[in-house]
């Protein structure tokens, strides 16, 4: 030992010094507790508060409930009291939260300097500029101001209208690209009123959809999905078991086609023609309803020239399809034909089909007191844009997320118009494509921060209340407009007696009260509306008769098959018309049919791919989505995108999703993919194109392994005959995988004395809409990883919609597409548990397969051993750019890097409910605990409950549907606690 310092004291010193060095760096950050000064009586910190409001993500008008914890909204759910949503909302609706907390929202008012850069200004300055510009424009004459916004409900739209009048202008546009014009114009032509009907898919026995993707984006998808599940539920009719028959006419399958019996691959743009062919067959076969007052002679004359043969030739479909669809519609007790897209004639043909088959007033219902039209018809919008082009406008205002530069038809050249206008004001949340040229940018409240009302249909009046304090330094758009109108004065200004938009909404409800419920107390009416989300009344059906003049109208359809390849653009189920692109959940949840994320792709049939010289063969076992880039030339210019080869699109057609290709609109949307609206004509979503294969490579990304079940039966289906006979379908399993004769236990079986949680999933009701996936992301703090990491095989979804494509050999006895939600099966013999070296993966006494994050050391053995591939590993520490972290659920741990995670059956909800029950000294009631996915499901395909309670809805459902029940991969003897109910299909012979 050296002199002076003994070995022992040296070690002591070293360790102490080490400790001393480490301590200051590791001291916890000062944590503060700041109590309320005056507490809100109704708020208990730690207990969520729920506010009813309305969804503003599309025109359907779903009522929603916002779950608020400690003053910030953490989740959106459907409002059970609302007749449209009935307790569920779609993935898009739930992702509205990410619009609210979007890190790229404009934080302060900005003005553009001469050099094009943006400069922050104060609110006083911004409001002053806003009004000064309006003032000088109004002084130089009438109609010098144009406003292009989106409809925000009757009360707020009224403010906008009055405000613009005050400034002496009529140039007002409420814009929506996926609009209502065709449906309204057709209703005008057929029935003499520009009303929108409501549809009753649940009352039909046969549905024929002429291009309406009613399970994806068309109309009111949540409501229609719910109705459709009822339509497909096996029911006894005249003593035989039956389910509804559905045909979907579209060049692309989509989830609507996936759930239909018949996918009719007509050329894009020929849907109306097919409808006329069907009408012709119905008339000539005499299948029309006898009690309608339609002039038969005129009808015969009207449909002549649309004989099934020529129609099927022009549409490129077999002739027997047309006649069989005619028999579906004409010979069912009740049927429904719906039209989609922007083509007026398709709508006319579909309305006629319903009228002729006597389904008007049954499955297609017009209501008394339908709300006035809110959207501006495209031709009027075009006029306003033209006036900007012509230099008749001094100040243009783009507001409310309308984004005309992105979504208005290419022929209008809106981007140039907006550049041309002397002063462009943009008001909104995330600066989008239309903000690029703006001179003044004003941040406005998100709809969830604003007072609104909504009147989506007769009998449904909703009130939208702000669910939290503003996240950013923004102001309500309509408050700015009201103040501006007061400043302008004049007679019109006096018509706005309200101080702010909250007053205006309140005043509108007072009026409504005097109309709907004159006997009630106004205060009570108002608070009742706030509590339940609105005022709901049974709407009266209006008797409509067909205007016989329509039968003398000459419809124009393309009469021959297209010579070129056709591009068929379709709205992306999540990105919709493009407004979803700034929300990372919607980007990262795979599009259900292709399973592609974060991109624009071109769906191409293997045959077409061969034609254009692509050497890559189609194989369902592909491990990637697509890589070859093609150049597509349209009459409006050309674009490049990578090809996804798939049999789920018609040969000769390129199906491309709409929604990407923003030049701005936040970090998640910017410079990603292609904006299809820029290439489409005004009232059509298809266009002839030329395609050239390039040498370029671009990897499309999918988290999916492949599209083939590889001989294993993961998602099962059975035919209606098998169900009627009550026999299990014969499922081919791999020869070497022997089925155990029953549950096999080596040890004494484990007892679960209290609750035992389980799930029943009705695959027959699943539409693949992915609302459950979005709900899981929101509830459980799932991280977004981005395209690059998904490419590397990393995605955090605990719950996914798995899809498999049936092979051509089995296509006649299989659904069009296998679709089902797959999540942790909470196996009794969980293969993940014995391999965990640290007991992080353990079984609870309530039958849950638990993952204890703080114990996990990240060996990933469990993930390897999981046959269902539902475990997710945090390869990186998750990031939530501020203020997105405000959305995190405080009841769920945020997992760090190196930790495995998976579905917990929403243990935080189970625990909370159990604590409530225990403190009240009772047992949990059935339905008291509901997982986020089950709550979100529009079709109620998912039921959650206690397996030990034989009266629970979940157990009953699997017992009552015994012939359809199966567990996934039973040969593994993992004993999953999730029972699936097979989806039912019609065999081709029996359609």
Partner 1 sequence: MNRVIIPIALLLFAGGVVTVAFSQRPWAPRSDVEQPIPFSHRVHAGINKIPCQYCHEYARRSSMSGVPPVERCVGCHGSALLGGIQPITRPWTDHRQPPFEIRWNRVYALPDFVKFVHKPHIWAGVACQECHGPVETMDRVVPVYEINMGFCIDCHVKRGATQECFVCHH
Q: Closer to partner 1 at the Cβ: 847 or 938?
A: 847
- In angstroms, the Cα distances linking 220 to 196, 213, 427, 693 are 12, 10, 27, 38
Give the relative orientation of helices 181-191 and 344-356 as an angle to the nearest 10 degrees.
50
323-361 core/surface letters (b: 16 or more CB in 10 A; e: else): bbbbebbbebeebbbbbbbbbbbbbbbbbbbbbbbbbbe
Q: Closer to partner 1 at the Cβ: 190 or 903?
A: 903
CB contact at 8 A, 686 and 268: yes
Secondary structure letter of residue 217 according to DSSP: T
- In angstroms, the Cα distances linking 348 to 185, 198, 340, 351, 759 are 9, 16, 11, 5, 44
Closest CB 659 distance from partner 1, rounded Å: 35
Q: Closer to partner 1 at the Cβ: 44 or 750?
A: 44
Closest CB 7 distance from partner 1, rounded Å: 8
Q: Closer to partner 1 at the Cβ: 296 or 750?
A: 750
Contact positions vs partner 1 (CB under 8 A): 1-2, 10-11, 14-19, 21-23, 25-28, 30-39, 44-47, 842, 844-846, 848, 850, 852-855, 891-894, 904, 907-908, 911, 915, 918-919
Closest CB 599 distance from partner 1, rounded Å: 34
Closest CB 717 distance from partner 1, rounded Å: 35
Q: Closer to partner 1 at the Cβ: 357 or 904?
A: 904
97-118 core/surface letters (b: 16 or more CB in 10 A; e: else): bbbbbbbbbbebbbbbeeeeee
Closest CB 584 distance from partner 1, rounded Å: 22
Burial environment of residue 749 by CB neighbours within 10 A (0 to 12, 13 to 18, 19 or more)? exposed
CB contact at 8 A, 787 and 699: no
Closest CB 874 distance from partner 1, rounded Å: 13
Q: Closer to partner 1 at the Cβ: 582 or 914?
A: 914
Closest CB 836 distance from partner 1, rounded Å: 12
Q: Which helix (H) or strand (E) holds 461?
A: strand 460-464
Backbone phi, psi, residue 474, to 5°: -115, 170
Q: Closer to partner 1 at the Cβ: 622 or 944?
A: 944
Closest CB 842 distance from partner 1, rounded Å: 6
Q: Closer to partner 1 at the Cβ: 26 or 746?
A: 26
Closest CB 32 distance from partner 1, rounded Å: 5
Backbone phi, psi, residue 66, to 5°: -100, 130
Q: Name 568's bridge partners.
A: 655, 686
Closest CB 239 distance from partner 1, rounded Å: 49
Q: How far is CA 963 from the centre of its chain?
A: 32
The angle at the Cα of 574, spanning 568 to 578, to the nearest 5 degrees, equals: 70
Q: Closer to partner 1 at the Cβ: 39 or 613?
A: 39
Per DSSP, the residues of 52-110 read EEE--SSTT--EEEEEEETTEEEEEEE-TT-TTTTT---HHHHTHHHHHT-TTS--S-E
Q: Closer to partner 1 at the Cβ: 612 or 835?
A: 835
Q: Closer to partner 1 at the Cβ: 45 or 497?
A: 45
Closest CB 68 distance from partner 1, rounded Å: 14
CB contact at 8 A, 145 and 132: no
898: Cβ–Cβ under 8 A, 6 or more apart, which residues? 856, 857, 858, 874
Q: Closer to partner 1 at the Cβ: 663 or 908?
A: 908
Burial environment of residue 659 by CB neighbours within 10 A (0 to 12, 13 to 18, 19 or more)? buried
Q: Closer to partner 1 at the Cβ: 53 or 780?
A: 780
Q: Closer to partner 1 at the Cβ: 29 or 746?
A: 29
Q: Closer to partner 1 at the Cβ: 16 or 523?
A: 16
Closest CB 916 distance from partner 1, rounded Å: 8
Token pair 């909404």 in the structure block, residue? 505
Q: Is the peptide bond before 883 cis (omega within 30 degrees of 0)?
A: yes
Closest CB 57 distance from partner 1, rounded Å: 30
The bridge status of strand 900-901 relative to strand 628-634 is unpaired
Q: Closer to partner 1 at the Cβ: 45 or 637?
A: 45
What whole-number distance in Å separates Cα of residue 529 and Cα of residue 63?
12
786 sits in the region (left: phi over 0; alpha: psi -120 to 50; else beta) called: left
Closest CB 884 distance from partner 1, rounded Å: 17
Closest CB 432 distance from partner 1, rounded Å: 35
Beginning with the edge strand found earlier in the chain, give each strand of the sheet holding 395-399 in spatial order: 118-120, 110-112, 440-443, 423-428, 395-399, 145-149, 171-174
What whole-number distance in Å separates Cα of residue 496 and Cα of residue 645?
57
Residues in the chain, total = 991
Q: Closer to partner 1 at the Cβ: 2 or 736?
A: 2
Closest CB 523 distance from partner 1, rounded Å: 26
Closest CB 876 distance from partner 1, rounded Å: 18
What whole-number distance in Å separates Cα of residue 892 and Cα of residue 932?
13
36: Cβ–Cβ under 8 A, 6 or more apart, which residues? none
What whole-number distance in Å separates Cα of residue 67 and Cα of residue 49?
6
């Amino acid at each position: 030992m050296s002199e002076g310092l003994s070995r022992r004291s040296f070690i002591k010193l070293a360790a102490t010094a080490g400790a001393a060095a480490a301590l200051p760096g590791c001291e916890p950050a000062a944590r503060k507790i700041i109590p309320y000064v005056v507490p809100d009586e109704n708020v208990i910190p730690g207990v969520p508060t729920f506010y009813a409001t309305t969804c503003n993500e599309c025109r359907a008008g779903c009522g929603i409930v916002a779950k608020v914890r400690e003053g910030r909204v953490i989740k959106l759910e459907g409002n059970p009291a609302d007749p449209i949503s009935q307790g569920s909302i779609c993935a898009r609706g739930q992702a509205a939260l990410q619009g609210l907390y979007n890190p790229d929202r404009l934080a302060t008012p900005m003005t553009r300097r001469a050099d094009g850069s943006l400069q922050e200004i104060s609110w006083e300055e911004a409001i002053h500029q806003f009004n000064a510009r309006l003032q000088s424009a109004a002084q130089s004459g009438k109609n010098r101001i144009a406003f292009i916004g989106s409809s925000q409900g009757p009360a707020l739209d009224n403010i906008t209208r009055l405000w613009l009048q005050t400034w002496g202008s009529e140039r007002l546009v409420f814009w929506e690209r996926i609009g209502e014009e065709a449906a309204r114009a057709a209703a005008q032509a057929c029935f003499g009123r520009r009303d929108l009907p409501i549809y009753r898919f649940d009352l039909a026995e046969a549905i024929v959809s002429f291009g309406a993707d009613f399970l994806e984006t068309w109309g009111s998808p949540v409501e229609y999905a719910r109705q459709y599940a009822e339509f497909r539920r096996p029911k006894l009719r005249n003593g035989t078991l039956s389910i509804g028959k559905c045909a979907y006419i579209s060049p692309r399958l989509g989830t609507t086609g996936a759930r239909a019996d018949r996918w009719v691959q007509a050329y894009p743009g020929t849907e109306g023609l097919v409808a006329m062919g069907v009408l012709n067959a119905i008339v000539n076969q005499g299948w029309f309803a006898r009690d309608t007052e339609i002039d038969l002679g005129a009808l015969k004359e009207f449909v002549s020239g649309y004989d099934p043969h020529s129609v099927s030739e022009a549409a490129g479909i077999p002739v027997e399809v047309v006649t069989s669809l005619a028999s579906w519609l004409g010979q069912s007790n009740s049927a429904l034909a719906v039209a989609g897209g922007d083509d007026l004639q398709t709508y006319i043909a579909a309305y006629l089909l319903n009228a002729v088959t006597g389904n008007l007033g049954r499955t297609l219902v017009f209501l008394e007191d339908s709300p006035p039209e809110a959207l501006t018809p495209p031709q009027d919008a075009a006029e306003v844009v033209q006036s900007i082009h012509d230099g008749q406008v001094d100040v243009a205002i783009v507001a409310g997320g309308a984004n005309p530069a992105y979504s208005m038809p290419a022929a209008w050249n809106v981007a140039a118009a907006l550049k041309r206008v002397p002063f462009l004001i943009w008001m909104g949340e995330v600066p989008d494509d239309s903000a690029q040229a703006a001179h003044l940018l004003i941040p406005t409240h998100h709809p969830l921060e604003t007072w609104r009302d909504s009147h989506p249909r007769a009998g449904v009046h909703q009130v939208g209340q702000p669910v939290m304090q503003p996240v950013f330094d923004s102001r309500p758009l309509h408050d700015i407009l009201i103040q501006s109108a007061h400043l302008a004065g004049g007679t019109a200004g006096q018509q706005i007696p309200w101080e702010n938009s909250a007053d205006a909404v309140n005043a509108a409800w007072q009026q409504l009260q005097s109309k709907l419920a004159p006997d009630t107390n106004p205060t009570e009416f108002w608070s009742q509306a706030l509590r339940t989300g609105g005022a709901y009344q049974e709407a009266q059906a209006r008797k409509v008769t067909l205007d016989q003049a329509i039968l003398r109208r000459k419809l124009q359809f393309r009469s021959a098959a297209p010579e070129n390849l056709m591009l068929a653009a379709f709205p992306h189920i999540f990105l919709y018309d493009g407004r979803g692109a700034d929300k990372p959940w919607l980007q990262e949840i795979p599009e259900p049919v292709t399973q592609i994320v974060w991109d624009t792709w071109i769906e191409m049939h293997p045959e077409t791919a061969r034609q254009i010289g692509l050497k890559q063969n189609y194989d369902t076992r592909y491990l990637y989505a697509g890589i070859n880039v093609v150049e597509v030339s349209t009459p409006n210019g050309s674009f490049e995108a990578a090809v996804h080869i798939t049999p789920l699109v018609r040969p000769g057609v390129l199906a491309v999703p709409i929604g990407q290709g923003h030049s701005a609109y936040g970090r998640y949307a910017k410079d990603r993919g292609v904006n299809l609206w820029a290439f489409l004509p005004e009232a059509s979503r298809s266009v002839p194109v030329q395609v050239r294969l390039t040498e370029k490579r671009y990897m499309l990304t999918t988290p999916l392994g492949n599209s083939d079940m590889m001989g294993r039966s993961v998602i099962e289906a059975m035919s209606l005959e098998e169900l009627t006979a009550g026999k299990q379908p014969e499922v081919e399993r791999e020869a070497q995988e022997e089925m155990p004769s029953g549950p096999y236990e080596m040890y004494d079986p484990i007892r679960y004395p209290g609750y035992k949680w389980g799930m029943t999933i009705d695959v027959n009701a699943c539409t693949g809409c992915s609302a459950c996936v979005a709900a899981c992301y929101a509830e459980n703090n799932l991280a977004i990883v981005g395209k690059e990491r998904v490419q590397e095989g990393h995605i955090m979804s605990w719950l996914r919609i798995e899809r498999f494509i049936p092979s051509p050999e089995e296509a006649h006895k299989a659904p069009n597409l296998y679709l089902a939600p797959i999540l942790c099966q909470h196996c009794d013999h969980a293969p993940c548990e014995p391999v965990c070296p640290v007991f992080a993966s353990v079984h609870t006494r309530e039958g849950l397969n638990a993952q204890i994050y703080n114990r996990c050391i990240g060996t990933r053995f469990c993930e390897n051993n999981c046959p269902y591939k539902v475990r997710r590993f945090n390869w990186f520490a998750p990031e939530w750019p501020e203020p997105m972290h405000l959305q995190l659920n405080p009841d769920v741990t945020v997992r760090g890097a190196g930790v495995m995670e998976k579905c917990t059956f929403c243990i935080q909800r189970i625990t909370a409910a159990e604590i409530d029950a225990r403190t009240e000294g009772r047992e949990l009631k059935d339905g008291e605990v509901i997982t986020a996915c089950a709550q979100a499901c529009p079709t109620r395909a998912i039921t959650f409950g206690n397996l030990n309670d034989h009266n629970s809805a979940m157990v009953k459902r699997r017992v009552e549907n015994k012939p359809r029940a199966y567990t996934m991969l039973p040969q593994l003897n993992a004993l999953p606690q999730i029972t699936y109910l097979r989806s039912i299909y019609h065999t081709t012979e029996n359609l």
